[in-house]
Structures are given as structure tokens and as C-alpha cells.
Amino acid sequence: MTEVIMPKMGDGMEEGTLLEWLKKEGDQVKSGDVIGTIQTDKATLELEAPGKGTLAGILLEPGKTVPVGQPIAAILKAGEELPAGWGSGEVKVAPKAEETAVETKPLATAMPAESAPNIGSTSRVKASPLAKRIAAEAGVDLTSISGTGPNGRIVEKDVRSAIEQQGTKVSAPTFTPSAPSAEDQQIKLNHLRGIIADRTQHSKQTVPHFYVTLEIDLEKIMDIREMFKAEVGGKISVNDFVIRACTLALQQMPVVNSTFKGDHLLQFGNVNIGVAAAIDDGLMVPVIHGAQHLTLRQIGEESKRLVSKAREGKLLPNEMTGSTFSISNMGMLNVDNFTAIINEPNAAIVAISSAQRKVIVNEDGDLEVRWRMNITGSFDHRVVDGAVGAQFMNVVRDYLENPTRLLS
């Protein structure tokens, strides 16, 4: 029977944007073959053929968005034809779920197909859209590169490796024109950027934010980090301390670990920390589930693992959902202070600024140079009152300025 190809992208994911077809109409495919890629708001996924036959009836062009469960192509066995009215939207196909649901699996993040430049003969080379764009910016000939992706496909790391070998410089892809122009340019949003725009706008317009900023003394944390580096040979970041401190503070003040439900608040039993991670296309928030059960070192290992997967586009659906509180860190970007937009349905988010050496007046009235850092909490006033938000931030500060309490 005809097998229908329908994206199946996991819980909470309602649509995706087709980046490209890796197989064309009329190609013979078998079960498990990668036939295309789809980008969701969380990751870029591979479309796998659900069975063996001929790829036919392609309904979706690269760059177009499709809801989960909508047919986008079919696989025909010998002697079969497409159903009457295929592509009209009126065809009702009820294939067996175990045969037709196209499994998707994460792969390296790619830019949407519409952003890939047309560079003549290289358009016939198997390469991801992001690889094509980077190659075009650096003037690298894709035909001279051997791909390490599926079926010899050229991916981003292949192009960057070639650039390093040739000594060619290339800037990271951005949403602005690469060269000045006298004419304005309209730059289409990719799928992830569109999702970010919708969600941040909705949060700012519907959630009554208020902010609390405190300055933290980091001298003791810096001493502990040096001790770990010397004695254990491992690194613990300031962000790891912040995650641990926020986790303990949320257990101490569980009202902050809640969400607004209209006529009631839902207070969560687990502390699931969302850690904002910048990627090429925008922002993702992988989630450390059950952070209250993890030690400081385990938090550091899990955070690094999730952020790395987010930047590679390999996060699984359960690693991107279920946060009860979030942390956004710009410490590596040399910022004095900033405020973060609440990641709904969380009731709060903490923004971490850069650690800096500052001259301060100590308790004895003398001048002293110490490591200091600003942190700002953004709170949903429907859930957290101003005094409660200030108390929570002071609890976090107390943990950070007495970091031996975070080591247990």
C-alpha cells in the first residue's frame, strides 16, 4: 500500500520548515534512508523514509512550513499510483502508524534553504544550506571538499576545515547584509527566529515583569575554582555555581518555582533549570531536569553536555521542554548588567553579567580590589510579589557569597 511521508517531530512541536530534499522525485529509497531535513523551533531533524519504493508526489518545497501530520510526499511500491486528488488537501489517507510515521532524528543545525546562495556548479554538490553559505562567503569551491555527512554530504565542519587549511577567513553567518549597500534589503526570518519573535513578544505583552538587581562578591568562588583546577584538574564555571545556588534557593522558596494558571498557581515538585544557549540561528533553552538531585560537578557536566548538543542541533525533545526556572548568562560578552525576558511558562529568570575586578570599600572603610558580578532577576508579578522576588535574589546572593554550602 502507498506509504505517506508525514513529519513526526515530538511532543510540543507543531510545525517545521523543510530545509531541503536529499532525494528527488522518482528516486528509489529504502526504509531508513535520509530523504530530507526539517527545522523545528528546537533543532534540525532528518526525515527518514518509512519504507521501500519510489519517492513520488512531493508536495512541499524547501523553505516552506508544514504542520505535524500533514502529508508532504509518498513512497510508491511497484504498480502503485498516487491516490486521486493527491495534493488537493481532500485526500484522506489512513496508513498504519507503524509503517508511515516518518521518524526524525537530530543532526547538525542548518540554515533554512532560502538563505543558501546559488553559486553555480556548486548547487549540484550535496551540501547543507549552512555549508553552502559559509563556502560562498569564504570563496571556497565546494567541489574540492569531501563531505563527512550522510551519503557524503558536505556539512559545516567540512567547510570550516577546508577554510582553515587554505588560511581563508570567514565570519559567522548573520542576519544582516555582509557588505554595505545603498539599498535596503528585506531579510526573511528563518523558522527559529520567527518562533523566538513570537514567544518573546507574547511574554513581554502578557506577563507583568519586574526586576531586581544585586551585586555579588565572587572572591570565594574564584578561590574554590582555582582549588578545583589545581587539586582535581577540572573546571567549574561561575555559571555552575549560579545554577546550584538558584536550585537551592528555589527549594527554599518554592513559590518562585511555580507557574500562573489563571485561577491558581501550579507549584512544581522538581527543579528543572533552563539554560539559555546562543546558537547560529538564534537561541535555545536546554533543560537540566531534577537539578535538586545533582551535585555542583554533575550540574557542570550536564550543562556542558546540553549546551554542546544545542549548538550541534542534536537536542532530543525531552531535553528542550519542562523547565520550571531559567538562567541567561552573558558573562562571556563583557556586559555590566542586563535584564532577561521570562521564558514562559516559568515565573522567573536570572540574568548573569560579566565577572569584573572592581575597587570597593570594604567593611573597614579601606579600598580593595575584588571580583564582583551583577545578577538580575526578572519575575512574573502574578506569581511573585516584589518583596518575595527581592528575598529570593538575596537568598541566591547568600549562597554565592558562601559557596562552600554549594559543594555538598
Contacts of 197 (CB under 8 A, 6+ apart): 189
Pair 70, 118 in one domain: no
Q: Is residue 157 part of a domain?
A: yes
| CA–CA separation, 220 and 94 (whole Å) | 63
User: Which triple of cell numbers denotes residue 130?
Assistant: 549552512
Pairing of strands 3-7, 101-102: parallel
User: Which triple of cell numbers denotes residue 259?
Assistant: 507557574
Pair 245, 315 in one domain: yes
Q: Is residue 203 part of a domain?
A: yes
pTM of the entire structure? 0.60
Determine the pLDDT at residue 11.
Answer: 47
Q: Is residue 45 part of a domain?
A: yes
Of 78, 107, 136, at which residue does a domain stop? 107
Determine the pLDDT at residue 269.
Answer: 95
Pair 215, 329 in one domain: yes
Pair 51, 200 in one domain: no
Q: Is residue 178 part of a domain?
A: no
Q: What domain range includes position 324?
A: 193-406
Q: Is residue 182 part of a domain?
A: no
In angstroms and rounded to an integer, the radius of gyration of the C-alpha atoms of the chain is 25
| CA–CA separation, 27 and 31 (whole Å) | 13
Q: Is residue 237 part of a domain?
A: yes
Pair 238, 383 in one domain: yes
Pairing of strands 3-7, 73-76: antiparallel
Nearest alpha carbon to residue 218 among 370, 18, 338, 63: 370
Phi-psi region of 32 (alpha: psi -120 to 50; beta: other; left: phi over 0): left
Pair 264, 203 in one domain: yes
The SS3 of residue 204 is helix
Pair 244, 326 in one domain: yes
Give me the CATH number covering residue 72: 2.40.50.100
Q: Which residue has the cell 498557581?
A: 265
381 is an active site residue: yes
Pair 225, 136 in one domain: no
Give the containing element (helix H, strand E) for 227.
helix 219-231
Of 65, 89, 107, at which residue does a domain stop? 107
Spacing of C-alpha 383 from chain mean position: 27
**Per annotation, catalytic residue among 202, 209, 293, 381:** 381
Nearest alpha carbon to residue 9 among 191, 156, 282, 200: 191
Of 84, 107, 130, at which residue does a domain stop? 107
The SS3 of residue 379 is strand
Query: Amino acid identity, residue 357?
Result: R
Give me the CATH number covering residue 317: 3.30.559.10
Pair 139, 90 in one domain: no
User: Which triple of cell numbers denotes residue 17?
Assistant: 520548515
Pair 124, 92 in one domain: no
Q: Is residue 137 part of a domain?
A: yes
Pairing of strands 34-39, 3-7: unpaired
Q: CA 297, 220, 357: angle at the middle one, nearest 5? A: 115
The SS3 of residue 45 is strand
pLDDT by residue for the chain (408 residues), tens digit each? 667 777 765 545 567 788 888 888 889 988 888 888 887 766 667 788 888 899 988 888 887 887 877 888 888 888 888 887 787 665 544 443 333 334 444 443 332 333 333 333 344 577 776 778 778 777 788 888 888 876 677 877 888 888 877 764 444 444 455 555 578 888 888 778 888 888 899 999 999 999 999 999 999 999 999 888 877 667 889 999 999 999 999 999 999 999 999 999 999 999 999 999 888 777 889 999 999 999 999 999 999 999 999 888 888 888 989 999 999 999 999 999 999 999 999 999 999 999 999 999 988 889 999 999 999 999 999 999 999 999 999 999 999 999 999 997
Pair 97, 118 in one domain: no
Pair 158, 231 in one domain: no
Q: Is residue 361 part of a domain?
A: yes
User: Which triple of cell numbers denotes residue 222?
Assistant: 574564584
| CA–CA separation, 64 and 114 (whole Å) | 9
Domain count, the chain: 3
The SS3 of residue 236 is coil
